[in-house]
Amino acid sequence: MRVVALLALAFVGLGPLPAAAESIKLGAVVPLTGRYGAGGAQVRAGYEIAVDHVNAAGGVAVGGRKMPLELVLLDDESDATKTVSRLETLAAHGVVAYLGGFGSDLHAAAASVAEKNRIPYLGVAFALYKVHQQGFHYLFSPFWKSPDIGQQTQGLLSTISAAERPKTVAIFQEKTDWGREMATAWTEAGKAAGYQVVVQGEYAPGAKDFSDLILKAKAAHADAVFALPTPPDGMTMIKQMKELGYTPKLAILIRAPDPPIWSKNLGKDGDFVVLGPGWHSAVKAPGVKELNEAHLKKLGRPADPIAGPAYACVQILAAAVTRAGSLDREKVRDAIAATDMTTVIGPVKFRPDGTGIVQSVFVQWLNGKQELIWPRESATAPLAYPAPPFAKR
């Protein structure tokens, strides 16, 4: 595998990369540093391992010959402005397709660039549905979206007996498009799931003090907390919940608990939190064993949850190029749209708006380990509920 990683300073005076003869260039912009750095590392690992595996198998069949993949990967430093500029750089390098990073705000910025440059874009680790409602022709995401998460939250709660199920919920709403969108989805889900939203308070990303939200949830006796913080914000929330003596019976925090740093920093306090990363290393699908083995060799553990969807993006692209029989971006785009295949995340199809029809997955931190709790047929552990008080862990 050839990987070119270019950081911000490398762009000064940078000319076009040398033409890579007989290779298929895939351009990835991923946050390797900044607030999304821990999640971006998982995305990068998935891309790199997938490219390694495709090339080790002889590459991608294009018009009767095999060609290797070349991954050109840039760090946007978790900054949407830099996401845009890095994607423009990749377009000049002649990439066949874009691979996205981590975080809904970065993907939202990226989708417009892909549309302008008419380059197919595959992105995971973002649940923002709004971006798919803008008529983008080149955006595809094999990853569940806010309406899916809301609906599947009902399914997860149904595993709890009706008498014990959460009746009151506090939503800690991030002041972003995704925060507002997910708050609406969770509120709507409550009508069928049998819970009432008793606290809905906003906070700005990067906030250092969540005590007002936590104390309101505590005063309202909220059984559950639903939120979608960044990893730093999520860890701060948990620490302050403990300090203020508030332990919800159930905490669903999308995004923040995805990376291993969650347990390293929080220890037992990070247990019992539920996350929705879209995948788990115990998912039953072809290729998962090989991905886990490669990830174990590379990073010393089975594949992290976002590595699976990232790996699947490369699988989808490779298959699309073969079906297109060409490196023509329009033909590759059309082949992606017609995807109907099984990847390491299971079966994948795309709706006309580019959203993926994919398996829904919830995971829970238990004893310092991420356990698959939903869907039940492939779960490695049942949902642990209610969470014990922090002082008794």
Coil, helix or strand at residue 195: coil
Nearest C-alpha neighbor of 104 from the set 31, 53, 168: 31
Nearest C-alpha neighbor of 269 from the set 174, 388, 94: 388
Contact status, residue 329 vs residue 97, Cβ threshold 8 Å: yes
Q: Is the pLDDT of residue 9 over 80?
A: no
Nearest C-alpha neighbor of 141 from the set 115, 121, 155, 160: 121
Q: Is the pLDDT of residue 346 over 50?
A: yes
Average pLDDT in the 202-223 region? 98
Q: In sequence order, what are the residues at sequence separation of 6 or more whose Cβ sits closer than 8 angstroms to the Cβ of residue 361?
A: 276, 277, 278, 279, 280, 283, 305, 372, 374, 375
Distance CA 304, CA 36 (A): 15
> Model pTM greater than 0.85?
yes
Fold match, 2-144+283-357 / 147-277+362-392: yes
Coil, helix or strand at residue 66: strand
Q: What percent of the chain has pLDDT over 90?
A: 93
CATH superfamily of 147-277+362-392: Response regulator (3.40.50.2300)
CATH number given to 2-144+283-357: 3.40.50.2300
- Indicate the domain borders of the chain: 2-144+283-357, 147-277+362-392
Distance CA 85, CA 99 (A): 15
* Residues 83-122 pLDDT 10s: 999 999 999 999 999 999 999 999 999 999 999 999 999 9
pLDDT tier at 297 (50, 70, 90 boundaries)? very high
Residue in this structure with the two tokens 């991923």, named with its chain if needed: 30
Q: Is the pLDDT of residue 2 over 80?
A: no
Radius of gyration of the chain measured on its C-alpha atoms = 21
Supply angle C-alpha 244, 205, 194, rounded to 5. 65
**Average pLDDT of the chain, as a whole number:** 94
pLDDT tier at 16 (50, 70, 90 boundaries)? very low
* Residues 130-177 pLDDT 10s: 999 999 999 999 999 999 999 999 999 999 999 999 999 999 999 999
Please say whether the dihedral angle defined by the alpha carbons of residues 158, 159, 161 and 165, taken in this order, is positive or negative: negative
Distance CA 120, CA 276 (A): 26
pLDDT at 377: 86
Residue in this structure with the two tokens 């005063």, named with its chain if needed: 219
pLDDT at 63: 87
pLDDT at 376: 86
Q: Which two tokens stand for residue 384?
A: 């642990």
Q: Which two tokens stand for residue 260?
A: 């291993």
pLDDT at 24: 97
β-sheet bridge partners, residue 24: 69
Coil, helix or strand at residue 37: helix
Burial status of residue 274 (CB atoms within 10 A of its CB: 0-12, 13-18, 19 or more)? buried
